[in-house]
A and B are shown apart, each in its own frame.
Chain A
Amino acid sequence: MPSEKLRQASADTSENLEMDMSPMIDLTFLLLIFFMVSSHLITIQIDRRVSPPTALNSQVAKFASGRVVVNILADGTVWAEDQVELTTTEAITDYVEQGRIANDAAGEQTRLNLRADKEVETRNIKKVVQAAGEAGVTEVIFGSLAVEK
């Protein structure tokens, strides 16, 4: 048998069991706006280990379609967008070519998005650009920051 206190408490709440909906509506709107905004943003996977060079004349991209992303870390190692290391030149060519074939099928012009660390030596940049050229991709976009960090 429930105690007097408990019975009293349950009797009290049963009278006004209305839930305040306004905060939930607020939150829903907030989420809605957030996803509306973020869906327009460009979605490429960014490798945090790369700190890109500064180029004040670079343009913030308006569209991300047709990009094949290659990251070059400061130590000179080359990584694909999905964090797989590309150890040989052939691996880079294969990776870029696969991207190009996929883009061709989708009717997109393929561009190489080269995210090279600012400390990387130019020989690594040349290696990747050459490998991409062999895969039939001649447009290169260098990832850079438009502001001085």
Chain B
Amino acid sequence: MIDLSFLLLIYFLVTSTLEPKEADLGMTMPTTQSGSSAQVEIDQMTVEVNAAGHIVLNDEVLDTDPLTREVPLLLDRLKTYAESAKLTDSKPMVIIAADDAAKGQRFIDVLNALADKAVGINNVTITGFKEE
């Protein structure tokens, strides 16, 4: 019975460390309810992700390697944007325009950059919905 209990203990120890825990990446779509009308609106920022996984901002291609999880150029722009929003006491808002054929991981990379501690923008929306 001691054998069995050790076996169980080892089994649970191993299984709990092997599997990486799934985590959350939050995003709040803006609603039509205007609760924070007191705040000044800032120009929203549109980040494009094209089919090849390149990140485009105002027709300027920023990060082009879809195989890496780092987006340093985008992160830099987002930091500037978040700071300017802070200075003007307005609520930053980012629109992600991802191509239909872009990979989900690339889309998550952009969200990941938005969730960075130095940026911290969670007011995000997606465009490019199909009209029905």
Chain A residues near B25 (CB-CB < 8 A)? 55, 57-59, 141-144
Q: What CA separation (Å) do A140 and B108 show in the bound complex?
A: 12
Chain A residues bordering chain B, tally (CB within 8 A): 49
Given A23-B2, A118-B103, A143-B25, 16 more A-B residue pairs with CB atoms under 8 Å apart are A23-B5, A27-B8, A55-B23, A57-B25, A58-B23, A60-B24, A61-B24, A113-B24, A118-B104, A119-B105, A121-B102, A123-B100, A126-B126, A126-B128, A129-B29, A142-B27
**Among B5, B24, B28, B102, contact of A142 (Cβ-Cβ < 8 Å):** B24
Mark A107-125 against chain B: 1 for CB-CB distance below 8 A, else 0.
0000001011111111111
Q: What CA separation (Å) do A55 and B30 show in the bound complex?
A: 23
- Complex contact B2–A58 (CB within 8 A): no
B residues near A, CB below 8 A? 1-2, 4-5, 8-9, 12, 20-31, 49, 69, 98-109, 111-113, 115-117, 126, 128-130, 132
What are 21 A-B pairs with beta-carbon distances under 8 A? Answer: A26-B5, A30-B9, A34-B12, A52-B22, A54-B108, A55-B23, A57-B112, A57-B117, A58-B115, A61-B23, A113-B24, A115-B22, A116-B104, A117-B104, A118-B104, A120-B103, A122-B100, A125-B104, A138-B30, A141-B26, A143-B23
Mark A38-55 against chain B: 1 for CB-CB distance below 8 A, else 0.
000000001000001111
- Complex contact A143–B22 (CB within 8 A): yes
A104 at interface by CB-CB < 8 Å: no
**Among A26, A124, A142, A147, contact of B108 (Cβ-Cβ < 8 Å):** A142
Q: What CA separation (Å) do A46 and B23 show in the bound complex?
A: 12
Chain B residues near A146 (CB-CB < 8 A)? 20-21, 23
**Among A89, A116, A140, A149, contact of B29 (Cβ-Cβ < 8 Å):** A140
Going nearest first, the 6 A-B pairs with the smallest beta carbon separation are A123-B100, A58-B23, A23-B1, A55-B112, A118-B105, A57-B115
Chain A residues near B31 (CB-CB < 8 A)? 138
- Complex contact A122–B12 (CB within 8 A): no
Task: Count chain A CB atoms within 10 A of each CB in B2, B29, B99 and give the residue with the most.
Answer: B29
Chain A residues near B102 (CB-CB < 8 A)? 121-122
Q: What CA separation (Å) do A27 and B101 show in the bound complex?
A: 53
Q: For the complex formed, measure the closest distance between the CB of A93 and the CB atoms of chain B, giving whole angstroms.
A: 11
A24 at interface by CB-CB < 8 Å: yes
